[in-house]
Amino acid sequence: MFVAALIDLGADHHEIARQLRLLHVDGYHLHVARRSKMAIEGIKFDVHVEADGPCQHDHGHEHGHEHAHDHGHGHGHEHGHEHGHGHEHGHGHGHDHGHGHGRGFAEIRRLIESSKLSPWVQQRAVSVFHRIAVAEGKIHGVEPERVTFHEVGAVDSIVDIVAACIALELLGRPKVTAGEVVEGTGFVRCAHGRMPLPAPATLEILGARGIPTSQCEESHEMLTPTGAALLAEFAESFGPMRGVVGARVGYGVGTRDHRTRANVLRAILWEASSEGADRGWETDRVVVLETNIDDATAEVMGHALEKAMRLGALDAFHAPVQMKKNRPGVLFTVVCREEDADDLTEFLLVETTAFGVRRTLAERRKLAREVVTVRTPHGQVQVKLGRLGGRVVQASPEFESCRSVAAMAGVPLREVMASAMVGIMELKAP
């Protein structure tokens, strides 16, 4: 489905098939056709291996070659982004690694690296397989180099994974982002027996990359280990789309029919919004935690501010507010990284008298920061600079540095700070 969605975006399936032949892997043929699921039309990409049995199509096939229905699409943009939603492969491959008499990871790596595929495709394809081998090796207690892939699964997986890398290169190696990863519930049957979803290898691959996963009500597997490895290798971030401009949409159609959603993988090729792109500022996301408090002493509030900063808050402050029933109180606010939000939420509920904490995800636009040293008549002082597009637009003497220099020199603090400002002006001068 991943390859199919990229083909629908404009990756030439004839070129994908041509490059796949550089691998010298036989015993398979490809089908590329337009299909639909729940009234959404897209591309159906199938890898048929010999063990699949006779092909249920009206035309013959030559192993190692591809057959397709024509579908006219332009080529991808070199600076696009691919944003995937819903990750499921129609094949059952990916669960039979670790047993059987097939190709081992070391052999597959040699096969890919000895081909005439581009160095980028070789490196990324080997890396995807390595993620699967590491996961399977951890599950079965063997070294990744010794993990063996079942013969049929190996052919299927090699073609799927290498084709995905080829397709991304044909689209200009775009930056890849993805939606939140969602898996189904229930069980899947694999070579190791009946296993709960997410499948063990899928969970290991996602966990190794630190990709958060949730489950939905669909009682089917929606993400295979192969799909998880592709996500782990290529997706740089996971979450809602932001700043999408000039989107081109492609759909990869799956085999199974889902109850609550169309079984399609959506890929979006887009350009980042030009808004703020050339302004030179940095961006990130933070969590803002807030709670209203009207029954805590000033000492408790002061203690909470100090401890919040020690626990990793980027900023913490409180301000007077007029609360319900005309009661005076304070608005306690903590700004923190997303990964620290739960710990700081617990801290607010335990250390203050709050009964609840509001949580907001916010975007920041900020200057690139740099700390430099300037000379003053009293000693060297650290100064924080803020750059916008390489240009210094803000500068501020570091208080603790000035206080230390003032104490050492035996002069007033304001005199050191004034001298530091003179040094800053000289620093900003062209």
Q: What is the pLDDT of residue 278?
A: 56
**Distance, CA of 225 to CA of 133 (rounded, Å):** 10
d(CA 1, CA 87): 8
Please enumerate in sequence order all residues whose Cβ is within 8 A of that of 339, keeping only pairs 6 or more positions apart, or say none: none
Phi, psi of 186 (to 5 degrees): 100, -145
pLDDT tens for each residue of 180-195:
899 988 888 876 678 8
Name the average pLDDT for the chain. 83
User: Cα dihedral sign for 244, 249, 250, 251?
Assistant: positive
> Quick check: 152 pLDDT over 70?
no
Q: What confidence tens digit (pLDDT) does each residue in 317-337 have? A: 999 999 888 889 999 999 999
Positive or negative CA dihedral for 68, 73, 79, 82?
Answer: negative
CB 292 within 8 A of CB 319: no
Residue with token string 């020690």:
310
Question: What per-residue confidence (pLDDT) applies to 427?
Answer: 67
Phi, psi of 405 (to 5 degrees): -65, -40
- In tens, the pLDDT along 370-411 reads 888 888 999 999 999 888 877 888 889 999 999 999 999 999
**Higher local confidence (pLDDT), 82 or 144:** 144
Mean pLDDT of 227-243: 88
Q: Is 226 exposed, middle or buried (0-12, 13-18, 19+ CB in 10 A)?
A: buried
Could you give the percent of the chain with pLDDT greater than 90? 48
Cis peptide before 198 (omega within 30 of 0): yes
Q: Is 287:360 a contact under the CB 8 Å cutoff? A: yes
pLDDT, tens digit, 9 for 90 and up, residues 284-315: 889 999 999 999 888 999 999 999 999 999 99
